[in-house]
Amino acid sequence: MEQKQEVDFIIVGQGLAGTLLSYFLMLENQRVVVLDYPHAGRTTSIAAGLINPVTGRRIAKSWRFEALAAFAKQTYQRLEEQLNIPLWLEWSIVRALHNNFEVNEWLRRSAFPEFSNYLQDGPDPQNFDERLRQPFGWGELRGCAQVALPALVEKWRVRLQQQNTYFIEDFDYDQLTTVGEKVVYKAWSARKIVFCEGARAVANPFFKDLPFLPTKGELMLVKIPGPAFGKIVKHNIFLIPLGGDLYWAGATSRYEYEGASPSAYGKQWLTDELGKSLKVPFEVVSHEAGIRPTVSDVRPFLGVHHDHPSVGIFNGLGTKGALLAPFFAKQLTDFLLGNGKLDEEVDIVRFERKELKGHFFTKQD
């Protein structure tokens, strides 16, 4: 019989979830291998990495923002030191308010104690006032940050490669077997395997019945003439400064799509929305797309399979991955090592025998 390499954990996928889960497991001196394959549609390679305390036209508070943001900042700054790259950048977002309702809602929310540290009216438009079409009003959102997720994933991959723990592998579910309390996959035997596959999890035979609702996001890299904006701008779409005259502009969000490649529809929509925001010409440098692992109840998926406790999942980070991933990667690490429980709101047990928008997560015969 072929001798298997004994490890503690096999992690499938090295996007943001796989990166941070492997990081926290390795901090606990666990033997980890990461199996990854550069499939089309990976979102981490183009993710803007925004963290902000409120979202949406109704200015809703982000779920558990204070605790999640504090832990995220701590984690990313520690990784900055270890990897010797800049990751955490604190920003303000200047937000266009397009009508009287949005202005009034901004002012109303600003009076609430839980919003008062974040919402400011009448911001200084700095370097971009003459280049943007004037909305009904402006608001400034403080306490925001941007995480360099593509750089983090790339640099962590190099670290794993140096330790001979990263392998390019297009995972074959048919070759995964359980032997007692262990799992065996090709050359490896492990205590547990954890799938961190992003939107590809819809094809995973262990977890395909979880209520994933993947969305396609498209964005453009553009050049806008003039001095660099001193803040992120949310007009019709986000404009995120990258240095000089370069910006990320986006992003779309569509549940119905054909394939992971950038689409003509997406490019036209982004171009139109950017034209509604800017008074100056712009140049499209590139057009990118990815499939987000969004979830029907807008909460991550953490846990182990009910019939196969050696098979786990960390997924469903959706559009707030930069904020959610550090805290829940640590929580899942503690859970897998028997040192804690999972929050009920993220544990996949919440879907057992429960119907949610036509999906079931039920025990198999």
> In 3-state terms, what secondary structure has residue 71?
helix
CB neighbours of residue 327 within 10 Å? 22
The pTM (predicted TM-score) of the whole model is 0.92
Each residue's pLDDT tens digit, 51-89: 999 987 778 889 999 999 999 999 999 999 999 999 999
Each residue's pLDDT tens digit, 225-239: 998 888 999 999 999
Each residue's pLDDT tens digit, 113-137: 999 889 988 777 666 778 999 899 8
The band of 2, judged by pLDDT with boundaries at 50, 70 and 90, is low
Q: Are 132 and 85 in contact (CB under 8 A)?
A: no
Lowest mean pLDDT among 117-126, 179-188, 243-252: 117-126
pLDDT at 364 over 60: no
Lowest mean pLDDT among 19-23, 155-159, 203-207, 251-255: 251-255
pLDDT at position 181 = 86
302 vs 2, higher pLDDT:
302
Tokens, residue 286: 């590139």
pLDDT at position 297 = 87
Please, what sign has the CA dihedral across residues 251, 253, 259, 260? Answer: positive
Distance CA 90, CA 212 (A): 31
Angle, CA 154 vertex, CA 92 and CA 93 arms, to 5°: 10
Tokens, residue 145: 């940050």
Each residue's pLDDT tens digit, 280-325: 999 999 999 999 999 988 899 999 998 899 999 999 999 899 999 9
- How would you label 263-293 residue by residue, b for 16+ Cβ within 10 Å and e otherwise? beebbebbbebbeebbeeebeeeebbbbbbb
Cite the DSSP H helix spans in the chain: 16-27, 65-83, 100-110, 149-162, 264-277, 321-336
% of the chain beyond a pLDDT of 70:
95
Distance CA 237, CA 140 (A): 15
Distance CA 17, CA 95 (A): 29
Cα–Cα separations (whole angstroms), residue 131 to 35, 181, 276, 286, 307: 46, 62, 11, 21, 58
Distance CA 313, CA 325 (A): 13
What is the rounded average pLDDT of the residues 21-39? 96
If 0-12 CB within 10 Å is exposed, 13-18 middle and 19+ buried, where does residue 130 land? exposed
The band of 13, judged by pLDDT with boundaries at 50, 70 and 90, is very high
pLDDT at position 355 = 42
pLDDT at position 56 = 75
138: phi then psi, degrees, rounded to nearest 5? -125, 150
pLDDT at 362 over 80: no
Each residue's pLDDT tens digit, 192-220: 999 999 999 999 999 988 999 999 999 99
Domain ranges in the chain with CATH number 3.50.50.60 = 5-46+150-212+296-351
Distance CA 224, CA 264 (A): 22
Contacts with 147 (C-beta within 8 Å, 6 or more apart), sequence order: 49, 51, 72, 76, 87, 88, 89, 322
Question: Dihedral (C-alpha) 275, 287, 261, 271: value to the nearest 10 degrees?
Answer: 10
What is the rounded average pLDDT of the residues 148-176? 97
pLDDT at position 125 = 65
Q: Which CATH class is domain 5-46+150-212+296-351?
A: alpha beta
pLDDT at position 353 = 44
| Residue pointed to by tokens 């001979």 | 164
pLDDT at 256 over 90: no
pLDDT at position 84 = 97
Tokens, residue 258: 């054909």
The residues facing 311 across adjacent strands are 193
Q: Are 269 and 236 in contact (CB under 8 A)?
A: no
- Reading phi first (left if > 0) and then psi (alpha if -120 to 50, else beta), residue 353 is in left
**pLDDT averaged over every residue in the chain:** 91
Cite the DSSP H helix spans in 212-262: none
109 vs 39, higher pLDDT:
109
Distance CA 16, CA 184 (A): 24
Distance CA 248, CA 25 (A): 33
pLDDT at 359 over 60: no
Q: Are 360 and 207 in contact (CB under 8 A)?
A: no
